[in-house]
Chains A and B, each alone.
Chain A
Amino acid sequence: MAEVEDAKPLVKVRDLKMYFPIHAGLFRTHVGDIKAVDGVSFDILPGETLGLVGESGCGKSTVGRSVLRLYDVTGGTVEINGFEIAHVHRDSLRSKRPMMQMIFQDPQASLNPRMTVASIIGEPLDEHMKLSPDERLARIYELMDWVGLNREFAKRYPHEFSGGQRQRIGIARALALNPKFIVCDEPIAALDVSIQAQVVNLLEELQERLDLTYLFISHDLSMVRHIADRVAVMYLGRIVEVASREALFADPLHPYTQALLSAVPEPDPESERHRKPIVLQGDVPSPSNPPKGCNFSTRCPKVMDICRQIEPAVRDFGEGRQVACHLYSESMQTTAEPTAGDITNQ
Chain B
Amino acid sequence: MPDTAMPILDVEGLKTVFRTRGGEVHAVNSVDFDLRPGELLGVVGESGSGKSVTMMSLLRLLPSPPAEMRDGKVMFDGQDLLKISPEELRKVRGSKIGFIFQDPMTSLNPVYTVGFQLAEPLRAHLGMSKAQARKRSIELLQLVGIPDAERRLKDYPHQFSGGMRQRVMIAIALACDPQVLIADEPTTALDVTIQAQIIELVKELRQKLGMAIIWITHDLGVIAGIADRVMVMYAGQVVEEGPVGEIFRDPQHPYTQALLKTVPAVRGPREEKLQVIEGQPPIMYGAPVACSFRNRCKYAFDRCSEENPKLRSVSAPGHRAACFLLDKAPTQEPEAVNG
Interface residues of A (CB under 8 A from B): 55-56, 162, 164, 192-198, 200-201, 204, 219, 221-223, 225-226, 245, 249, 259-272, 275, 277, 279-280, 283
Determine the chain A residues whose CB is within 8 A of the CB of B192 once the complex forms.
Answer: 55, 219, 221, 260, 263-264
Determine the chain B residues whose CB is within 8 A of the CB of A196 once the complex forms.
Answer: 262
Q: What would be 21 A-B contacts, judged by CB atoms less than 8 Å apart?
A: A55-B191, A193-B220, A194-B259, A195-B280, A197-B275, A197-B277, A198-B276, A201-B273, A201-B276, A204-B273, A221-B192, A222-B266, A265-B196, A265-B221, A267-B221, A267-B224, A268-B248, A269-B245, A269-B248, A277-B200, A283-B164
Determine the chain A residues whose CB is within 8 A of the CB of B266 once the complex forms.
Answer: 221-222, 225, 249, 261, 264, 266
Partner among B218, B224, B260 whose Cβ is within 8 Å of the Cβ of A192: B218
- 6 cross-chain pairs, A with B, having the tightest CB-CB distances, nearest first: A265-B221, A263-B196, A55-B191, A267-B220, A272-B225, A194-B277
**Bound CA–CA A36/B270 (angstroms):** 33
Given contact pairs A55-B192, A196-B262, a sample of 15 additional A-B residue pairs in the complex whose CB atoms are under 8 Å apart? A193-B218, A194-B258, A197-B262, A198-B276, A201-B273, A222-B264, A225-B265, A226-B274, A264-B192, A265-B224, A266-B225, A267-B248, A269-B244, A280-B197, A283-B164
B10 located at the interface, meaning its Cβ lies under 8 Å from any Cβ of chain A in the complex: no
Asked if A263 contacts B267 (CB within 8 A), the reply is: no
Determine the chain A residues whose CB is within 8 A of the CB of B258 once the complex forms.
Answer: 194
Range, interface on chain B: 35 or more
B199 located at the interface, meaning its Cβ lies under 8 Å from any Cβ of chain A in the complex: yes
Question: Looking across the interface, which residue of chain A has its beta carbon closest to that of B187?
Answer: A265
Q: Chain A's nearest CB lies how many Å from the CB of B128?
A: 31
Asked if B225 contacts A280 (CB within 8 A), the reply is: no
Asked if B270 contacts A225 (CB within 8 A), the reply is: yes
**Bound CA–CA A50/B94 (angstroms):** 47
Asked if A265 contacts B225 (CB within 8 A), the reply is: yes
Determine the chain A residues whose CB is within 8 A of the CB of B263 once the complex forms.
Answer: 193, 222, 267
**Bound CA–CA A269/B164 (angstroms):** 27
Number of A-B contacts (CB under 8 A): 123
Q: Chain A's nearest CB lies how many Å from the CB of B256?
A: 11
Determine the chain B residues whose CB is within 8 A of the CB of A268 once the complex forms.
Answer: 224, 248
Asked if B267 contacts A249 (CB within 8 A), the reply is: yes
Interface of A is mostly: helix
Q: Chain A's nearest CB lies how many Å from the CB of B247?
A: 8
Question: Looking across the interface, which residue of chain B has its beta carbon closest to that of A198?
Answer: B276
B314 located at the interface, meaning its Cβ lies under 8 Å from any Cβ of chain A in the complex: no
Scoring B194, B222, B248, B259 by chain A CB atoms within 10 A of each residue's CB, the highest score goes to B194
Q: Chain A's nearest CB lies how many Å from the CB of B46?
A: 4
Asked if A263 contacts B195 (CB within 8 A), the reply is: yes
B47 located at the interface, meaning its Cβ lies under 8 Å from any Cβ of chain A in the complex: yes
Determine the chain A residues whose CB is within 8 A of the CB of B268 once the complex forms.
Answer: 266
Asked if B46 contacts A193 (CB within 8 A), the reply is: yes
Determine the chain B residues whose CB is within 8 A of the CB of A279 once the complex forms.
Answer: 193, 196-197, 200
Q: Given A225-B270, A264-B266, A269-B224: A193 and B280 within 8 A (CB)?
A: no
Chain B positions 227 through 271: 1 when the CB is less than 8 Å from some CB of chain A, otherwise 0: 100000000000000001100100000000011101111111011
B150 located at the interface, meaning its Cβ lies under 8 Å from any Cβ of chain A in the complex: no
Q: Chain A's nearest CB lies how many Å from the CB of B183?
A: 15
Q: Given A264-B192, A267-B224: A192 and B46 within 8 A (CB)?
A: yes
